[in-house]
Every structure is written in structure tokens, then in C-alpha cells.
A and B are shown apart, each in its own frame.
Chain A
Amino acid sequence: MFRQTYNSMNERLTPDNQLVQATLQKMEAKRGGRHYGAPRRRGVMIAVAAAVLVCASLTALAAAPGLGQFWESLTAKYGEHVQLVEPVEPPATSTAPDLEETQPQPEAQGASGLQVIAAAVDRDNAEIYFTLTDPEGRIGENALAIGELQVGPLTVPVSARPVFCDPESGAAVFCQSLYSPDGIDGSEATLQITGVYSSDAHPSGDSATFTLALNDLPLTQDPQTLSYTMPSQMDAIAQSWPARYNTISQEGAVTLLAPGEDQPIPGVEGVSISAAGYVDGRLHVQFHLKAPGCSALLQGGMVCSDPQFEPGSSYDDAAFDTLFNLSHGQVVDFYEPSLDKGDNVADSKKGYEYVEIISSLPPDALQHWAWDFHLMQSTPILESTWQQSFPLNVGALPMRQNAAPFTVDVETLHLPENPAEEDFVSSWAPSTFDGLRVTPFGVTVSRPAVAEDEAPENDGILKRLAPDVSKLEITVETAEGTQACILDKEGYTVLPDEQGRMTARYLLEKTVEPEEIISLKVNGVDVPLTDVMP
């Protein structure tokens, strides 16, 4: 019966024609040289005068004709607002002897080794383009450049895939996004790439799947701990699950195990246990993803041999993990996967060195439990270190704002009492927004937070952390036609920001000059705009 019901359910699932047509269009556009891929995550604002940039573009084109198609796509994406980056001293360096000794090929001149070629900044967001050139052609489209980016006091892991490859010169252009909650102040940035790996993970030999019996954990009595300050944005998001988060956090700080000596896991290469013990009554187990760029993907699941255990009813809500990068003493990621549901645990391709799993399993329950892991590893393509410092300029782009607050109806979906038998219920309510800003790259909408925003609704299986500000349909009309904006899924608040506002950013697929906007509509309501502001 299961097969019959399952298959009858699948027969009803087909990609609709709209999806198919949109996909075909993107496939065709990609063949034409435009980069599509994942939706552009962040709006960017470029800071150098157009005339200078055009000259710089021409210079770059002459120096690196192999990248000509990439420059065309970049200028198509950003219009004339392209900032090219000139390296500052010290110049780009490499520890890869084979690359250092290689004379740049004429078509790759200016792009040998690591070369940051363009950057774009919009207050707190940036996209940084850089090239890595290997005349032997080892850097293909499946490459993944790993490293870190330092901008002022902020250090973030780098995990970038190529957006363009030139097979003749061996040059690959990578794009790395940057989000700095405190804003980007125009200071010098330093990009360090520590290796290039294949983005196609593969199972790690015999150790692809392994089971760790919790009774065999090398638990330490009164283990050493360290206190980490949670980044403010991450802390704000984590607070939307207070029942779990508050068990380990104290005013934005978390207590985690201090990494100790690696304890090997029998038969497993690439991952070891670096610390384990009970902290404040909760089980902490810390794994070390060894070997720089070992690119381990741990997919974990909890296995219980206790016949009394009912799935989903006991420790299901108790396990989550915290990922942190020890080399900088920072928590770089935090989320709440349920190991009982077999979630991904860690991916060192993203620069994580350690992962710590926290669970409320009491000591006397450990005998019944095991964690089931699936380990994937990526193949190193080039293991080396390149570094370059460059200016990350900040400037003003033309923009227009709303002339007055505006009110639109926004839809809310309600979970029915019995989802198996009833449809979702939709309701519409007016929302007033006093802030709207449109730049060449998108539209930002905001309003003051209200009491309800402090506690986003969470209804169990379906979490509705979608404030009204993130559910707007925005269109921009110019003489060339009407363009719909796309919500930047990483660019909106789920809780009020430090200014007590709810904000969402919507991106334009194609650059629009604000002065050329004829009309801007939000959920069908025409929003009058001011004149262009510098």
C-alpha cells in the first residue's frame, strides 16, 4: 500500500510549464555568456566614476582578452557601475612553486596567480571578483576556492565557485559575496586563498558511512570550555528559537568545548573527536574536520536501540549543532538541525574546522544511542596559499526614495487545523511602510518594528519567519519595460534590527538608472518617488 500511495502522490508532481519555460530561457541565456546560476543574493553598489571605469575596463580587456566574455557579462549585469580593483602593496603572492615559476601567458596577462579584479560595495554588502590562473587548466567549472577574506575587523570564510572559465588561458573568475552587519567602511581588504578543490564531493572510501556509539565517546569530566561571542545578526536569528538557544547562550555568548587532542575514530579518515563532555548538563561533542580543505560533508542521523523510544517525541528537539572556526576564535555558523531527522552537520569546504554537537541526552541514555554519519570528501585540485590586499571603495550611487509613507495590502497564509484535509487559509491586511529606496541594483523597503515583530510566529513543522516586509511584489517601470524585483533571501530581517526597523532588500535582474524610472509599484500600489539624490 505504501508504494501505491507514494507513487500516486508522485504522479501528481510535475514541473509546471512556467517553470520549464523559465528554465529553458536561463539555459539559453547561460549558453549566450550571461551568468545565471543561483539568484544574485545581494545588491551591490559601485563607487568609481564611470569614465574611469570604462577606461579601466578597456585596459583590462586588452590585457586579458580571454576574459572578454566575462567582462561583457559583468557590464551587462552592473551597467556602467563597475569598479576595477588595482592591487596595493604587497602584491599578490603565492606559495605554489609551480605557479610562481610559470610565466604568464599573453592571454592571461594580469590574471596570473590570484588577482582581485573587481569589487562592488553597497553599505553592508559586497561582491568581490577574483581570478586564479593555472596554465595547465586544472581549474575548471567544478572548482571551489577556499580561504578567508578580511575587511577591517571582520574575517569571513571564503568558498567561491567560478562564474567564468577561459579554457585557453586557464583563468577562472570567482565571485565571493560579503555581508558585514556593521557596514563596509572602505578600508583595505585582504583576500587569502588557501586551496582549490573539486566541488563534486565523493564518498570517502570505506569510511563513507560510519556509526558512532555514544557509549564509546571519550567523555572528559569537567571539560575545559571557551566562551564565544555570537555575531549580533546570528544571535538575533538564533533567538527566534529561544527554547533551544537560551540553554547555551548568555547575553549573546555561548560556552563551547576547548579543542583538545584529536581522538581518532576507528576506520575513519579526515574527521576526529577533539573534545567531548557534559557542560551544564548537556552533552557536547566536538569534531575536528582535519586537513585544510578536507571538505568533509557530515550528514548525521541519530540511531536509537531503545525500544521505548518514540521517533519525534523525545530528544528530537534536543540536538543541534554549532559550527565555529577556531583559528579566529569566532562562531561562524549556527543552526539547529535535528540529528534525529538526518540533517547535514558540517561542510569544511565552507572553511569550518570544528563542529560541536550539543544534545540533551542524559548520561544514562547514551547506551541506547548512536550517531550515524555519512562522510564525503572533495578532491584537492591545487593546494597552495595566495594572498592579495586591495581597496574596497565605498561611494554613493544615485538613488530615489519614497516621497511619503505608503500603505499596501499584504497576504498572510495560515496553517489549517488539519493540513491533511484542508487548504491553507489566506488573509490580507494593510501594512504601512515609511522607507523605500531604489538604486541601480534594487529596492530596499522598511518600516518601524511593532511588538509582533519581536516574536515571529513559529507553528512547528512549518515555520513562518516571513514578515510582511519580505512578501511584497515590487515592479519597476522604465522606457525599456517593466521589471519585477526578486527578494534577496539573505537580505531581510526576521527580527527588528538595531535601529528597531524591519527591512527587506529586493534585487533587480538588470540594472536600472533611478532617473529613468517612470513608476514603481508595491503590491500594485503606485509609490511616488523623490528626485534623484546623489
Chain B
Amino acid sequence: MKVRRDEEIVARQGPRVYRLAFAQLRSKADAEDVFQEVFLRYVEKLPEFESPEHEKAWFLRVTLNCCRSLWRSAWHKRSVPLDENLPFETRDQWGLHQELLRLPKKYRAVLHLFYWEDMSTAEIAKVTGSTPAAVRKQLERARGMMKELIEKEGLGNV
């Protein structure tokens, strides 16, 4: 039964965890490491969720924490791995990926939670451990930086 429940939780939260990890790390290999670490932490702690929103917030927050841990690891300081098998199809997708690599990491998180997860600044603040005002400030800066980077690279369709 427990294994069955593992499958359900991985199916339900796995894509969300993977995408946020990739959004933060911009590396398939690192995102896979974080993906596994997040679900092992879930097994360690077996948190009881009060609601689907609580479950979602827990996984997002743990994913961000795992990404931070990875950044801090000695190995990750030395190298940024190659990602040769990313599934992007269009020039705009590849270009955006390259520009996101240049964006500060904390801005990547708020952009992802805002645009992909469709979360409000208050919800993002809870997940990132920040304040709604700080999130709004970060979103504003992130958008401004992305605008500059995209225009500079001539990614007109982005």
C-alpha cells in the first residue's frame, strides 16, 4: 500500500518538483538529483498535509531548500554540468533557457512560481520564506532584467 501511495505522490507532485528544480538549476542532471532528494525527504518526514495547497507548498518549499543545498555543495561550486539532452524545440525556448541561466537564482524561483505555478505574491512569499513586498520587488527586478536580456539577444518572439 505504501508503495502504491509513493506512486501517487510522485505522479501528483513529481512534475511540479522537477520543473521548479530545473527552473532554479537550469540543469537536467541537477534537477534529477533534487527530484530524488525531495521524495526521499518526503519518506523521511512523512508529513501530514491538511489540504492540496498545503501539500503543494510543502513540495515547492522542500524543492527550493534542496536546490540551495546543491548550490552549497563543494562539487557544485566547481562546475556547471553540460546539458546535452534538453527537450527544447524552438530557438526561442533555447534562447530563453540561456538567458535564464544568466538571471540571479532567487529571481528564477519567483518567475517560475508566478508564471508557471500561477501563484500570487503572497503565496510565493510563503514558499520562499519571504514577504509579499519582497516578492513583488524581486518580480519587478526579474522582469526588468529579462526584458533587457531578451532585447539584447534579439529574441523577438519571447
Is residue B129 within 8 Å, beta carbon to beta carbon, of the partner chain?
A: yes
Contacts of B10 in A (CB 8 A): 20, 23-24, 27
Is residue A141 within 8 Å, beta carbon to beta carbon, of the partner chain?
A: yes
Q: A121 to chain B: closest CB distance in Å?
A: 20
Contacts of B37 in A (CB 8 A): 37-38
Q: Interface residues of B, CB < 8 Å — how many?
A: 71
CB 8 Å contact bits of B30-53 with A (1 = contact, 0 = none): 001001110110111100000000
Report yes or no: A463 in contact with B80, Cβ–Cβ below 8 A. Answer: yes
Cβ-neighbour of B68 out of A209, A344, A426, A463 (below 8 A): A344
Report yes or no: A341 in contact with B6, Cβ–Cβ below 8 A. Answer: no
Contacts of A461 in B (CB 8 A): 80, 98, 101-102
How far, in whole Å, are A1 and B94 apart by their CA atoms in the complex? 15
- Chain A, 413-451, CB within 8 A of any chain B CB: 413, 415, 419-421, 423-424, 426
Report yes or no: A335 in contact with B111, Cβ–Cβ below 8 A. Answer: no
Report yes or no: B88 in contact with A12, Cβ–Cβ below 8 A. Answer: yes
Contacts of B32 in A (CB 8 A): 15, 19
Task: Using known A-B contacts A203-B130, A490-B74, determine if residue A424 contacts B84 with beta carbons closer than 8 Å.
Answer: yes
Contacts of A7 in B (CB 8 A): 115-116
Cβ-neighbour of A15 out of B15, B75, B92 (below 8 A): B15
Chain A contact residues: helix, strand, loop or mixed: mixed
How far, in whole Å, are A137 and B129 apart by their CA atoms in the complex? 27
Is residue A3 within 8 Å, beta carbon to beta carbon, of the partner chain?
A: yes
Is residue A299 within 8 Å, beta carbon to beta carbon, of the partner chain?
A: yes
Task: Using known A-B contacts A15-B14, A343-B71, determine if residue A27 contacts B39 with beta carbons closer than 8 Å.
Answer: yes
Closest to A489 in B: B75
Cβ-neighbour of B36 out of A26, A202, A462 (below 8 A): A26
- Chain A, 1-24, CB within 8 A of any chain B CB: 1-3, 5-10, 12-15, 19-20, 22-24
Is residue A297 within 8 Å, beta carbon to beta carbon, of the partner chain?
A: yes
Task: Using known A-B contacts A342-B104, A465-B78, A465-B79, determine if residue A421 contacts B39 with beta carbons closer than 8 Å.
Answer: no
Is residue A466 within 8 Å, beta carbon to beta carbon, of the partner chain?
A: yes
Q: A519 to chain B: closest CB distance in Å?
A: 28
Contacts of A208 in B (CB 8 A): 129-131, 134
Contacts of A201 in B (CB 8 A): 65, 129
Is residue A314 within 8 Å, beta carbon to beta carbon, of the partner chain?
A: no
Is residue B158 within 8 Å, beta carbon to beta carbon, of the partner chain?
A: yes
How far, in whole Å, are A420 and B78 apart by their CA atoms in the complex? 24
Report yes or no: A413 in contact with B14, Cβ–Cβ below 8 A. Answer: no
Report yes or no: A141 in contact with B149, Cβ–Cβ below 8 A. Answer: no
Contacts of B157 in A (CB 8 A): 1, 5
Report yes or no: A15 in contact with B94, Cβ–Cβ below 8 A. Answer: no
Q: Interface residues of A, CB < 8 Å — how many?
A: 72
Report yes or no: B19 in contact with A10, Cβ–Cβ below 8 A. Answer: yes
Report yes or no: B68 in contact with A9, Cβ–Cβ below 8 A. Answer: no
Contacts of A420 in B (CB 8 A): 91, 94-95, 98
Contacts of A22 in B (CB 8 A): 36
Is residue B96 within 8 Å, beta carbon to beta carbon, of the partner chain?
A: yes
**Which of A15, A30, A413: most chain B Cβ within 10 A?**
A15
Is residue A134 within 8 Å, beta carbon to beta carbon, of the partner chain?
A: no
CB 8 Å contact bits of B77-113 with A (1 = contact, 0 = none): 1111010100111111111111001111111000110
How far, in whole Å, are A36 and B44 apart by their CA atoms in the complex? 10
How far, in whole Å, are A8 and B19 apart by their CA atoms in the complex? 12
How far, in whole Å, are A15 and B12 apart by their CA atoms in the complex? 12
How far, in whole Å, are A209 and B92 apart by their CA atoms in the complex? 33
Is residue B145 within 8 Å, beta carbon to beta carbon, of the partner chain?
A: yes
Is residue A328 within 8 Å, beta carbon to beta carbon, of the partner chain?
A: no
Task: Using known A-B contacts A28-B6, A419-B98, determine if residue A413 contacts B84 with beta carbons closer than 8 Å.
Answer: yes
How far, in whole Å, are A336 and B157 apart by their CA atoms in the complex? 34
Contacts of A466 in B (CB 8 A): 79
How far, in whole Å, are A212 and B18 apart by their CA atoms in the complex? 34
How far, in whole Å, are A65 and B33 apart by their CA atoms in the complex? 34
Report yes or no: B94 in contact with A413, Cβ–Cβ below 8 A. Answer: no
Cβ-neighbour of A13 out of B2, B22, B90 (below 8 A): B22
Is residue A277 within 8 Å, beta carbon to beta carbon, of the partner chain?
A: no
Q: B42 to chain A: closest CB distance in Å?
A: 8
Cβ-neighbour of B129 out of A10, A24, A37, A203 (below 8 A): A203
CB 8 Å contact bits of A456-478 with B (1 = contact, 0 = none): 00000111111000000000000
Report yes or no: A209 in contact with B40, Cβ–Cβ below 8 A. Answer: no
Report yes or no: A464 in contact with B129, Cβ–Cβ below 8 A. Answer: no
Closest to A14 in B: B15
Q: A420 to chain B: closest CB distance in Å?
A: 4
Report yes or no: A209 in contact with B6, Cβ–Cβ below 8 A. Answer: no
Report yes or no: A9 in contact with B96, Cβ–Cβ below 8 A. Answer: yes
Q: B108 to chain A: closest CB distance in Å?
A: 9
How far, in whole Å, are A142 and B6 apart by their CA atoms in the complex? 21
How far, in whole Å, are A513 and B133 apart by their CA atoms in the complex? 59
Q: A1 to chain B: closest CB distance in Å?
A: 6
Give 12 A-B contacts (CB < 8 Å), ordered by A residue: A3-B115, A5-B93, A7-B115, A12-B89, A13-B15, A20-B14, A203-B130, A311-B148, A342-B107, A347-B72, A462-B82, A464-B79
Known: A15-B15, A301-B104. 19 other contacts (CB 8 A): A2-B150, A5-B92, A7-B115, A10-B23, A10-B116, A19-B32, A201-B65, A208-B130, A297-B68, A311-B102, A341-B102, A341-B104, A342-B106, A342-B107, A420-B95, A423-B84, A461-B101, A461-B102, A464-B79
The 4 closest A-B CB pairs, nearest first, are A342-B104, A420-B94, A335-B77, A424-B84
Which B positions have Cβ atoms within 8 angstroms of A?
2-3, 6-7, 10, 14-15, 17-19, 22-23, 32, 35-37, 39-40, 42-45, 65, 68, 71-72, 74-75, 77-80, 82, 84, 87-98, 101-107, 111-112, 115-116, 129-131, 134, 141, 143, 145-146, 148-150, 152, 157-158
